Amino acid sequence: MNVRPAIARMSAYSPPLEMRNQGDYLLLDFNESTLPPSADAVAAIRAYLEGGRVQAYPAYGNILERLGGYTGRPAAELILTNGCDQAIEIVERALLEAGDEMITAVPTFAMTTQVAQTIGARVVGVPYGADLRYPLEAVLAAVGPRTRLIVVTNPNNPTGTSIDGAQLRRILTARPGLAVLVDEAYYEFSGRTFAALLDEFDNLAITRTFSKAFAIAGLRLGYAMSNAAFVRELYKVRGPYDVNMLAVKAAEALLARPEPWQAYVHDVMQVAKPRVERFFREHGVRYYPGDANFLLVQPASVPDAVDYLKAHGILVRLMRPPVEHCFRLSIGSSQDMGRFMETYGNYLSQAGA
């Protein structure tokens, strides 16, 4: 096959799934929920399966109106996607041509770069500083004549750090004709959103997911928000049935009764995360504070710490340069993080012994 040179040059985005397919690990490596979705959501999935409509193509009903109630944006400004990954993909495919430039601060979520490369766009990665603050001035300085898109992951994965509205405004107004994608995959945990800026800026798109706080990563549901004219363009890029009905039925239930996932978010951010941070401080373990349901942790030896955790049934995520001196720890329920702290405490005492 004569694969396009842009594809031949790339490598696949292959997250480390091997260990997750075997054994009964506590999964603190992909920033998912450590608890399953609410009983209502599971019941809605089951009801759809048993309702005799699986053989029919999806008919999405009024899910966009319901999502509008949640996001505060009209249905015409929303498009559902097969995970946030696909939301990122359709935004980039709608905006970028081969040879265009996309700017992103690095390290960040790999999918944004992956998609741009499939298009043959050039990805300009502007490094975060050692303090992991967003490199705003360097991002603005990198804008050139071929820059079409700036992607901001907020809070960023894996640094956990965020930008504020004043910083985003400078990016949005950096140059006429420049588009800005803000990925708010961790919005429910951070409580930060730039959705209100959609009223002010027609060069802004925002992506989100049902994979994290809503706990349906396995069903693949995300969405993009932007002005209605751009959303109409996005519908040309997405397939008509790319989103499956089980995900939509679960989402309806999760939006109709948010208390269970809201309680989970509260437990993660107000109970478990402060406890884990206190544990690290008390044990002299360096970590980088952030706004999402994960932390970058800097142990004396990453391989030792990660291997010990794995041997004791807990998976965390190895990082690539420039943060290879850290592992990324997802924060789950306070009960699950109690197990993590007990295990890590044992590791520290045997490592110090």
Ligand X SMILES: Cc1ncc(COP(=O)(O)O)c(C=O)c1O
Residues near ligand X, by CB under 6 A: 31, 83-85, 109, 153, 157, 183, 185, 209, 211, 217, 222
Q: In the bound complex, what is the minimum distance in angstroms from residue 346's beta carbon to ligand X? A: 29
Task: Output the six-digit token pair for 283.
Answer: 């044990």
In the complex with ligand X, the residue whose CB is nearer, 190 or 203, is 190
Q: How far apart are CA 134 and CA 111, in angstroms?
A: 19
Nearer to ligand X, 178 or 217 (CB): 217
Q: Quick one: DSSP state of residue 128?
A: P
Looking at the Cβ atoms of 15 and 345, the one nearer to ligand X is 15
The minimum distance between CB 81 and ligand X, in angstroms, equals 8
Q: In the bound complex, what is the minimum distance in angstroms from residue 207's beta carbon to ligand X?
A: 7
CB of 88 to ligand X, least distance (A): 7
Of 157 and 226, CB closest to ligand X: 157
The nearer residue to ligand X, 159 or 203, going by C-beta atoms, is 159
Considering the complex, state which of residue 279 and residue 291 has its C-beta at the smaller distance from ligand X: 291
Comparing every residue's Cβ against ligand X, the nearest one is 83
Q: Least Å distance between CB 297 and ligand X?
A: 17
List the strands of the sheet with 101-106, edge to edge.
78-81, 222-225, 204-209, 179-183, 147-153, 101-106, 122-127
Residue 197 buriedness (CB in 10 A; 0-12 / 13-18 / 19+)? middle
Cα 106 to chain centroid distance, Å, stands at 15
Query: Smallest distance, Å, CB 216 to ligand X?
Result: 9
Residues 184, 147 contacting (CB under 8 angstroms):
no
Longest CA span, the chain? 63
User: Judged by CB, which is closer to ligand X: 107, or 299?
Assistant: 107
Task: Give least dist CB 208 to ligand X, A.
Answer: 8
CB burial string 154-174: b at 16+ within 10 A, e below: bbbbbbbbbbeeebbeebbeb
CA distance 331 to 276: 8
Burial readout 233-255 (b: 16 or more C-beta within 10 A, e: otherwise): ebeebbeeeebbbbbbbbbbbbb
Could you give the 3-state DSSP secondary structure of residue 49?
Answer: helix
